[in-house]
Amino acid sequence: MVDKDFAEINALQKVFPESAILLCWYHVLQAVNRWLSKSESGVHGLSNTQKRNEIISFFCKLKACTSVSEDDFKATSAEFCQTFKQYPLVCQYFQKHWEGIGHMWCDYGRRFSHARSETNNVIERYDLLF
């Protein structure tokens, strides 16, 4: 489980080609929140707090897609873009940065036991301590 660092992901895939690489859910939400807070998102500022919360809630809905195939995720992705169609920059951001790698951050991509760990915060904390 890693942050969304493609240099790290590419290195891991090269060394461990059979391994599934998962994205840390905490870092996914952090990245989305940071982008939504920028003016380029179109939903920044105090007046859009509720809209940003709705977008984050929908990301949680996307994360919860659990079907063995990605069909549920694809349908929910289409629903996301339909729901937020009045915010085309949000839809474009989702499609460019998250939709294509859903298998790395959504439940349908977590097809093996990983002790229900959704983040890499524990190991990051360990590294800070030792």
Could you state, in order of their start, the residue ranges of all structural domains in the chain?
Answer: 6-129
CA distances, 22 to each of 45, 46, 51 (Å) = 31, 33, 28
Average pLDDT of the residues in 6-21 = 94
> Nearest CA to 106 among 57, 49, 61?
61
Question: And the tokens for 46?
Answer: 């105090």
Query: Chain-wide mean pLDDT for the chain?
Result: 88
Task: Please tell me the pTM assigned to this model.
Answer: 0.85
* Per-residue pLDDT, 56: 98
Instruction: Count Cβ atoms below 10 Å from residue 32 Cβ, excluding itself.
Output: 20
